[in-house]
Structure 1
Amino acid sequence: MTETSGNAAPTTRPAHELVAWRNAIFAIFFLSGLSMASWVARIPAIRDDTGLSTQGVGLVILGGSIGSILGLVAAPWLLARLGARLGMIAALVTVSVGLVFVGVGGSLLPAVPLVVIGLVLFGLGNGAVDVMMNVEGAEAEREIGRTVMPLMHAFFSFGTVAGAAVAAAASAIDVPVSMHLGVMALLIAASILVAVRYVPLRAEVGDDTHAGGPRPPWTERLKANLAVWGDVRLLLIGVIMLGMSFAEGSANDWLALAVVDGHGFDATTGALMFGVFTVSITAGRVVGGPILDRFGRVPVLRTLAIIGIAGLSLFIFGTETWMLVVGTVLWGLGSSLGFPVGMSAAADHPTDSAARVSAVAIIGYCAFLAGPPLLGFIGQHFGILNALLVILVLLVLSALAAPAAREQTRPAASGSQA
C-alpha cells in the first residue's frame, strides 16, 4: 500500500466527534446540491409563469452565475471576518432567502427583477459555501486520516438527485413554485443551523474559540489567507483543479447539446447521455476514497486524466452509439476525483491549510463557472465538438501537474477509524 499519511494530522479529538464532524459536512454538501436542483428543476415553470423567452432565461441564469463568482471572491473575507461556522450559516441562509425571492418572483407575484435578485443572492450564498464547506471537509479528512473528500462531493450529487425528485413531485401535483421553493428554503435554513453544531470551532479557520487570548484582527487573517497565492505548488494544484473542473462543468452544460447538435441524435438521447455522465462521476466519487488510499494521489490522477482523455476522444470522434456511451462513461470517471483530490492536496500544510483550500476552491469553481460560456463562444464559431478539444488540452495539463498533489508525510491520526 502506498503512503496514506498525507491525509492524517495529529489530533486528540475522539472518534465520535470526528464522525459527527464528517457527517455534518456530508449534510452541508447535500444541502448545497439540494438547493441547486430545487431551482434548476423549476426553470420551465418559472419561464412559463413569467413569460420569459429562451434568451431571457439565459440572461436570468447569468444573474446566478455573477452571484456565484462574487460569492467565491467573498469567501476568504467571510472566513476571516466570521469564521467557518458562522460563515456557512450566513451563506446557506442567503441561499434560502434567494430561493424565496425566486419563488415569489417566479409564480406568486411574477416579476423577472425579483427572480434576478433571488438568483444573485442564491449564487452569492452557494459560491461562498462551496469554498467554506470544502475548507471544513479537507480539515475533517486530515484529522480522520482517510480519504473522504470524494464521498463528500458525492453527497452534493445525492442532494441534486433528491432535489430533482422533490421538484418533479411538486410539479406533478401542481404545487406552486413559490410554495415549493419556500418550503425548501425553510428546510435548508433549519438544517444548516443543526449541522454546524457538530462542526468544531477552530481558530485556524477564523472561528472565535474564546481560547488563547483574542484573535488577530480580521484584516491580518485576510492578508494571511491571500498570501498563499504565491505558492508555486499550490498553483500547480490549481492547474489540476482547472482541468478537471472545466471537464466536469462543461459536460453539465454542453454534453447533451453536443449529442444532439454534434452527433445528430434526438433530445431524449442527449438527456439520457447526460444521465450516464452524472451516474459515472458520482460512482467515481463514491468508490474513489479507498482507491486513493490504496494507490496514492499521483498515479490515480494521472490514470484518471488518461481515462478522461480517452473518453473525450471517443465522444468527439466516435461515430457509433456505443462509442458515445463508453466515451461518456470514461469522461465522467476521468473527471470525478480531480476536484476533491485537489482539496485534499491543498490541505497538506501544517499551518495554512484552510487558506490554501480556499484558494484552490476558487480556482476550481471559477473554471466550473467560466468554462461552459467559453466553450459556447468557441462552439458558435467552430462547432461544439471542436470546442470540446479545449478540454483535452486541459486534461493533459492536469496530468502533467499531478505530482503537485503528492501526499505530504504526516503522523497518523488517532481518529483514523472514523
Structure 2
Amino acid sequence: MNVEGTAVERAAQKSLLTGFHAAFSVGTLLGAMVGSAAIKAGISVPVHMALAVAVILLSVIYLYRLVPAGTGKETGGDSIDPPMSARERMAIWKERRTVLIGIIVLGMAFAEGSANDWLPLVMVDGYKITPAMGSFAFGLFVAAMTIGRAAGGMLLDRFGRVVVLRASALFAITGLLIVILGQSYTVATVGIVFWGLGAAFGFPVGLSAAGDDPRGVAARVGAVSTAGYLAFLVGPPFLGIIGESVGLLRALIVVLIAVTVAGLLSQAAKPIGKQTTKSRGQENQFDSY
C-alpha cells in the first residue's frame, strides 16, 4: 500500500502519503477510544481482543475485493529504464540516501511505536493515574498525530520535506522532554500533544522520499518501510528492558536520542529526480534554515 501511495503521489504531483497514513491513525484513535471504554465498562481483555479479531476478519473478507489488481507492483510504466535485476535491488540497501532515509524513519517510527506500546503504562506508572486516564492520554497522542497527518499534505507542499521533518523532530523532542520532566499529569498531556504532532510525519514522509525515483521504487520503499517496522517491532521491547532498570519514564530518553538523530539527518529526504518548479523552489527557499 505504501508503494501504491508513492505512485499516486507522483501521478498527482502532490503530497498525499501523510493523508493516507492519517487513516491509519484514525483507526488507532478509534482503537484507543474503544479500549478506554472497555476498561470503564469492565470488559475483560480476552473478550475485547476477540471482538477486535472479529472486526478485523470481517473487514478483510469484505474489503480485499475492492483493492485494484496490481496494487503495489512496480510496472514497466513506472520508469523508462528496464526493471532492476535482483543484484540491483539488493544494492539499494547500500545506497547512502536510502540508508539515511531509513535511519530517519527508524527514529521517528521508534517515537510512534513507543507511544503505541508504552504510553498508557508510562503515564500510569510515572504519574500514578488510573488506567482509564492512561488510555485517554494515548488517545490524545493519536488524536494529535492524526491532526498532524491530515494537515501534512498542505504543510509539505508549502514548506517542503526537509523543513517539515526538522520541525516535526523539534516538536517530538519538546514533547518528550515535557513528558519526561513534567511534574504533573496535566503538564505531561501538553507534552503528549507535542509528541504526537512530532511523530506524525517521519514515517510517511520518509516513504514518500524513498519513492522519488520510479525505477526501483518498490525496493526502496520496501527497504525504508522495513526500517520503520523494525522500529515498531524491536524498539518497544528494547524500551521495556531499559524501563525495568530505570523506569519507563526515564527510558524515554532513548526515544529522545533517536528522534534527535532523525532530525539531524532530515536533509537526506530532499526531493530528487523530476520535481515541479513550484516544489523545487520551495525546497530551495527553506533549505537554508
Q: Please, what TM-score do these two structures have when normalized by structure 2?
A: 0.83
Pick closer, same or farther for the CA change 1:240–1:205 going to 2, 3 Å: farther
Q: Which residue of 2 aligns with 1:269?
A: 133
Q: Which residue of 2 aligns with 1:307?
A: 171
CA distance in 1, matches of 2:247, 2:32: 31
Pick closer, same or farther for the CA change 1:398–1:377 going to 2, 3 Å: same
The alpha-carbon deviation at position 279 of structure 1 amounts to 0.3
Decide whether the 8 Å contact of 1:150 with 1:289 is kept in 2: yes
Decide whether the 8 Å contact of 2:213 with 2:273 is kept in 1: no
Alignment gaps of 5+ in structure 1: 1-132, 207-214, 414-418
Q: Which residue of 2 aligns with 1:398?
A: 262
Pick closer, same or farther for the CA change 1:327–1:187 going to 2, 3 Å: closer
Secondary structure at 2:68 match in 1: helix
- Which stretch of structure 1 is more off in the superposition, 329-338 or 149-158? 149-158
The alpha-carbon deviation at position 225 of structure 1 amounts to 2.5
Q: Which residue of 1 aligns with 2:251?
A: 387
Give 1:337's match in structure 2, choosing from 201, 204, 207. Answer: 201
The alpha-carbon deviation at position 348 of structure 1 amounts to 1.1
Amino acid at match of 1:353: V
The alpha-carbon deviation at position 160 of structure 1 amounts to 4.0
Amino acid at match of 1:250: S
Q: Which residue of 2 aligns with 1:363?
A: 227
The alpha-carbon deviation at position 322 of structure 1 amounts to 2.9
Alpha-carbon displacement from aligned partner over 1:359-398 (angstroms, at most 9, x marks no partner)? 0000011111111000000000111111100011111100
Q: Which residue of 1 aligns with 2:153?
A: 289
In the TM superposition, what are the counterparts of 1:160-309 in structure 2 within 5 Å?
160-161=28-29, 181=53, 184-197=56-69, 199=71, 202-203=74-75, 221-309=85-173
Amino acid at match of 1:141: E
Alpha-carbon displacement from aligned partner over 1:325-380 (angstroms, at most 9, x marks no partner)? 11000000011000000001111114122211110000011111111000000000
Decide whether the 8 Å contact of 1:277 with 1:332 is kept in 2: yes
Decide whether the 8 Å contact of 2:175 with 2:195 is kept in 1: yes
Pick closer, same or farther for the CA change 1:302–1:258 going to 2, 3 Å: same
Alignment gaps of 5+ in structure 2: 278-289
Secondary structure at 2:14 match in 1: coil
Q: Please, what TM-score do these two structures have when normalized by structure 1?
A: 0.58
Pick closer, same or farther for the CA change 1:302–1:164 going to 2, 3 Å: closer
CA distance in 2, matches of 1:179, 1:274: 21
Amino acid at match of 2:103: V
Percent sequence identity is 43
Pick closer, same or farther for the CA change 1:267–1:395 going to 2, 3 Å: same
CA distance in 2, matches of 1:296, 1:331: 21
Amino acid at match of 2:239: L
Decide whether the 8 Å contact of 1:204 with 1:354 is kept in 2: no
The alpha-carbon deviation at position 180 of structure 1 amounts to 7.5
Decide whether the 8 Å contact of 2:110 with 2:235 is kept in 1: yes
In the TM superposition, what are the counterparts of 1:96-135 in structure 2 within 5 Å?
133-135=1-3
CA distance in 2, matches of 1:301, 1:367: 18
Q: Are 2:183 and 1:319 aligned?
A: yes
Decide whether the 8 Å contact of 1:137 with 1:149 is kept in 2: yes
